[in-house]
Amino acid sequence: MNYNPVLSDRSLRVRKLKETLVMVQQLDKNMSNLRTWLSRIEGELSKPVVYSICHGDEIQRKLAEQQQELQRDIEQHTEGVASVLTLCDVLLHDADACGSDVENDSIQQTTRSLDRRWRNICAMSMERRMIEETWRLWRKFLEDYSRFEVWLTTAEQTAANPASTDVLYTCAKEELKKFEAFQRQVHERLTQLELVNKQYRRLARENRTDTSNKLKTMVNEGNQRWDTLQRRVTAVLRRLKHFTSQREEFEGTREAILVWLTEMDLQLTNVEHFSESDIHDKMRQLNVSAFQQEITLNTNKIDALIVFGENLIQKSSPLDAVLIEDELEELHSYCQEVFGRVARFHHRLINRRPVLDDDHDFSDRDTDVEDSLELGSVWAEEEDLSVHDLLPPLLEPSGRETPVSVNSIPLEWDHTVDVGGSSSPEDEDEEDVTYYSALSGVIERWELLQAQEAADLQQWHKLTTDLIEVTAWLDGVLPELETLRRAEEMQRTFNIYKSLMIGVNLSGQDIQRGDRAELQELSAGLHATNQKWTHACAVLDSWQYQLHNALLQCQTLHSLLLWLARAESQRYMVNIHDLNVDTNILEEHRDALKDLQQELRGREQEVLSLQEMSAHILQLDQGEDSLEAKEKVHVISNKLRLLLRQVAQDLGLLQEPFLYRVLRAAFPLHLLFLMLLVLACLVPLSEDDYSCALSNNFARSFYPMLRYINGPPPT
């Protein structure tokens, strides 16, 4: 019996089992080493990256020390992991190694665990490469913060030296407007500060900050400096507004008192010069008690204004103090003038009454003067001096027994010539001289008033016409300003009417120097027109400011930029360079380009309107937002023109292969038509063309033939 095959199979089997045993032992050894390495590398990869300082050198050091070493270690173990996975796969297909399901499941579980951990390590290693992204985020943060810090430094210098102490009122008004604009700029920069804070919050959330807290310190410092700047600007604005409001309150109160004095002066003038009533009616019209009560009520306001003005003088600059002092002096003089007129006119009316004797006359006169001077109780001493300075000394008693009535003497005469007389010729001559001198003065004044009346008549009519025209225009333009859409035309119209308005005010000031009764109506109309003009200018300025802000904050520019980018991507989607596509595809490309061209042309008018509006509104504004808006409008206009030109060129290039394809497709049909035409030309038109006897075919051939000219050939 031959046992050689059996022994051979047995030896092969033993060798196979030994190899399997070696493979299993090698697998256990490799898996043990891999488990140690996997645990170590997973621990290192799970640790967060810690940056000591925010600097590029720190990033390079982290990349060199950690990332490159880890990557090198992983690459070195790649072959070992691959060999283990290959060995596991071989053992899975070996029946001796995996004789049972338990062994098979164990090897499969080991393979899956190793593969999962390896893939996790590779993924975590790729995440460690985010160190470079950290540096990119750091640079973006540092650049944004640097720009914000440059602006913040300039803003702090501006807010540190405001012109709010010992400045002129006009300079304070300009400084107030400047700081109001500056405050708006500070609020606009809050967006940039919020962007910096948002970037830092992302870095902190992703553990990308440094342990030295440089980034945190920068953010906290920026926030604190912005808060300090905001409080500083608010305090400066509060101080400027307080200063200007005090001056405006002083001017408003002074103007109100001047208006009241003017009205009292006009009322006194009407009673004194334009009333033909008798003494009792004038006394009733004058209503001294009402005048005295009104003066007493307004005297407290005048006193408070003087005290307020004195305090304002101490707080104002020297030039403004001189101006306020002059205004107070002017108001004081005007008050003395008006109150003195009231006292003199009341004194004159009192002395027109008949008296019993000279002593009683003079005593009554003294009593009336004292009573009249009591109208201004607060300024009793000043008014007493002013009235006594304005009143001439009384005449000496003449000894005349019977007093003379003075009811027939005009009010313009001085009251000193209206009292008493003398029976002697010398006294009568003196009285006549005084009478005629006063009469001549009245005549001269009357002639002067007539000359002024003639000169002012034409100016009066012109002023009335201009005032009516301006008022009518303002009545029409005020409703239109609420729905204004043509800022440039309206601005030109305002400039035209501005010169007319200035002329009306100048003419009104010249005419208001007279004593016409119609001046009250004219003054009221002029005042109402000025108020309408001021309101119209304020509405126009407010609308232009709102339009300016709306243009800077509108999303139309951003949407147009996005739409142009989308249109450009649509153009690039059309492949016009491949000439081997079908005709249907070429037709689709052509239709797409035509639709895009039509859409671009539809947007062209919108872009032109936006460009014209921005050129008018942002013409003189040099702010950063305005410059950015101008640049966006310029970019949109250029991009639109470029796209229109490129789409037109694409359509031209696409039209040539399209026509070429059409001609090539129709060429066989054209060739057939040409052949049919040639055949039709070859067909004879009549039966005579078929007869050979009636035609000299030899003559039409290419063979030479003799022809006799002078008759038939010889026979």
| Span 615-658, pLDDT tens digits | 666 665 666 666 677 767 767 777 788 888 888 887 777 766 55
Query: Helix/strand/coil (H, E, C) string of 331-391?
Result: HHHHHHHHHHHHHHHHHHHHHCCCCCCHHHHHHHHHHHHHHHHCCCCCCHHHHHHHHHHHC
Listed in sequence order, the residues at least 6 apart from 144 whose beta carbon sits closer than 8 Å to its beta carbon are 192, 195, 196, 199
CA–CA separation, 593 vs 37, rounded Å?
61
Q: What is the pLDDT of residue 285?
A: 60
Residue 387: per-residue pLDDT: 35
For residues 334 and 402, membership in a common domain is answered with yes
Mean pLDDT value across residues 108-135: 72
Q: What's the CA gap between 510 and 463, in Å, rounded?
A: 10
Same-domain pairing of 203 and 89? no
Q: What does the DSSP 8-state code read for residue 393?
A: P
Same domain, yes or no: 178 and 40: no
Domain end residue (candidates: 367, 393, 422) = 422
pLDDT confidence bin for 169, thresholds 50/70/90:
confident
Q: Is residue 206 part of a domain?
A: yes
Q: For residues 323 and 238, state if they share a domain.
A: no
Same domain, 220 and 299: no
Residue 446 lies in a domain: no
- The listed range with the strongest mean pLDDT (340-344, 384-388, 463-467, 651-655) is 340-344
- Within a domain: residue 655? yes
If we measure between CA atoms, which residue out of 498, 524, 604, 494 comes closest to residue 560?
604
One-letter amino acid of 94: D
pLDDT of residue 373: 38
Cα separation of 474 and 480, whole Å? 10
pLDDT one-digit tens code per residue, 139-160: 899 999 999 999 999 999 988 8
Mean pLDDT score across all residues of the chain: 70
Question: Does the pLDDT of residue 410 top 50, yes or no?
Answer: no
pLDDT confidence tier of residue 600, bands split at 50, 70 and 90: confident
Q: Which residues pair with 587 in a beta bridge?
A: none
| CA 56, chain centre distance (Å) | 40
What is residue 700's DSSP assignment?
T
Q: Are residues 327 and 418 in the same domain?
A: yes
CATH number at residue 183: 1.20.58.60
How confident is the model at residue 154, as a pLDDT? 92
| pLDDT value, residue 166 | 76
Tell which residue, 246, 241, 200, has the closest CA to residue 221: 200
Write down which residue in 70, 99, 128 finishes a domain. Answer: 128
Does any domain span residue 445?
no
- In contact, 63 and 131? CB cutoff 8 Å: yes
**Distance from C-alpha of 202 to C-alpha of 193, rounded to nearest angstrom:** 14
Q: Which of 208, 204, 222, 217 is nearest to 58 (CA)?
A: 208
Q: Which two tokens stand for residue 611?
A: 């460009």
Structure-model confidence comparison of residues 639 and 363, the more confident one: 639
- Which pLDDT band holds residue 364 (cuts at 50, 70, 90)? very low
Burial class, 448, CB count within 10 angstroms (exposed 0-12 / middle 13-18 / buried 19+):
exposed
Q: Is residue 431 part of a domain?
A: no
What is the number of residues in the chain?
715
Q: How many domains does the chain have?
A: 4
Instruction: Identify the residue with better confidence: 282 or 175.
Output: 175
41 and 95, same domain (yes or no): yes
| CA distances to 99, 148, 214, 338, 627 from 144, in Å | 68, 6, 15, 68, 19
Give the integer Cα–Cα distance in Å for 39 and 32: 11
pLDDT at 428: 42
Q: What is the pLDDT of residues 659-715, one digit of tens each?
A: 665 666 677 777 888 888 888 777 666 555 555 554 555 555 565 666 666 766 665
Whether residue 231 is found in the same domain as residue 311: no
Is the pLDDT reported for residue 198 higher than 90?
yes
In three-state secondary structure terms, 158 is helix
Residue 261 lies in a domain: no
Tell me if 196 sits within 8 A of 145, measured CB to CB. Answer: yes
**150 and 89 within one domain:** no
The answer to whether position 608 is within a domain reads yes
What is the reported pLDDT for 339?
A: 80
User: Mean pLDDT across the stretch 21-49?
Assistant: 69
Question: Could you tell me what percent of the chain has a pLDDT over 70?
Answer: 51
In which region does residue 395 sit, left (phi positive, over 0), alpha (psi from -120 to 50) or beta (all else)? beta
- Find residue 464's DSSP bridge partners: none
* Residue 145, pLDDT score: 92
Distance CA 621, CA 627 (A): 8
Confidence of residue 221 (pLDDT cuts 50, 70, 90): very high
Q: Is the pLDDT of residue 590 over 60?
A: yes
Does 400 lie in the same domain as 291? yes
**pLDDT given at position 527:** 80
Residue 350 neighbours by CB under 8 Å, 6+ apart: 364, 365, 368, 372
| Per-residue confidence (pLDDT) for residue 399, from 0 to 100 | 33
Q: What is the pLDDT of residue 367?
A: 39
397 and 297 in a single domain? The answer is yes
Range of the domain at 206: 133-245
Does residue 124 share a domain with residue 152? no
Structure confidence at residue 193 (pLDDT): 92
Residue 611 domain flag? yes
Q: What mean pLDDT comes out for the span 194-214?
A: 87
What angle in degrees, to the nearest 10, is found between the helix axes of 358-373 and 380-390? 140
